[in-house]
Amino acid sequence: MHIIKLGGSVITAKGRYRTFMQKATSRIIEEIAQIKDQIIIVHGGGSFGHILAHRYGIPGKLDSKKLAGFSRIHMDMLDLNSRVCSIIDDKIGPCISMPAAVMMSDFEEKASEFTYRNVLPVFFGDVYIDGERIGIISGDRIMSRLAAEFKPERAIFFTDVDGIYTSNPRTDRNAKLLKELEGDVRTSINREDVTGGMAGKIDEMRKMARSGTEVFIINGRKPERIHQIGKPFFKGTVIR
């Protein structure tokens, strides 16, 4: 099995509220369509999730203002998910939307009911209610929960940079791309969005790698690089 995350930084314009990148998303899904293996897809929130989450102070303690935000963010995420699903349905085949908000405790089990029938589950980072709190589960966390359950051969993260660098390549001209990231390598990473940005992603990737899944991060604007995996000229980062 392959589990694949479409990062919010590639499928949306992360700074412009609810701006879907249709062409970039289609290009990635066309490359994924060539994989001859069982697949689960997860996508992030980008500007459909993070902008309102900041505005409403989510995650945080449940109150009436946050409940309004909960509802709006979930609707925006459903909208993004439906746009992604319609491309998947067109280019890969039957798929099903998997909102974590309504099945936080057992989404892994639900996913296997669909993969068994060759229906591709499509998860997304989502809001949820947990007692007196409104939380956010990131697409990265969903990837790591799915990996723990399904023990996939590979997990692939598409994002808007070539891989993991020694520091943020957008702010540091001297940042170097890391071909491999092993347990104890230190990078200078800040937690720039509500679910931890690149630092949160690396935490989840390390968990997945420890449990035996090969984890890759690839530039979603060059999605053909997915076919370079395992070759010496692969451009991206492998997490072991």
Give the CA angle between residues 46, 47, 50 to the nearest 5°: 75
Q: Residue 111: in which H helix or E strand, if any?
A: helix 107-115
Q: Does the protein bind ligand IP8 through residue 204 (CB under 6 A)?
A: no
Position 236 contacts ligand ATP (CB under 6 A)? no
69, 121, 125, 152: residue in contact with ligand IP8 (rule CB under 6 A): 125
Select 24 or 111, whichever has its Cβ closest to ligand ATP.
Answer: 24
Beta-carbon neighbour count of residue 157 at 10 Å?
28
Nearer residue to ligand IP8 within complex by CB, 203 or 228:
203
Quick note: the x/- pattern for ligand IP8 over 159-198, rule CB under 6 A, is: -----------------------------------xx---
Got the DSSP string for 60-108? EE--HHHHHHHHHHHHHHHHHHHHHHHHHHHHT--EEEEEGGG-TTTHH
The pattern of x and - marking residues 47 through 76 that bind ligand IP8 according to CB under 6 A reads --xx--x-------------------x---
By the 8 A CB rule, do 239 and 210 touch?
A: no
Longest dimension (CA), the chain: 54
Closer of 85 and 113 to ligand ATP (Cβ): 85
Name the residues that contact ligand ATP, by CB under 6 A: 7-10, 44-46, 50, 139, 159-161, 164-165, 167-170, 187, 189, 193, 195, 197-198, 201
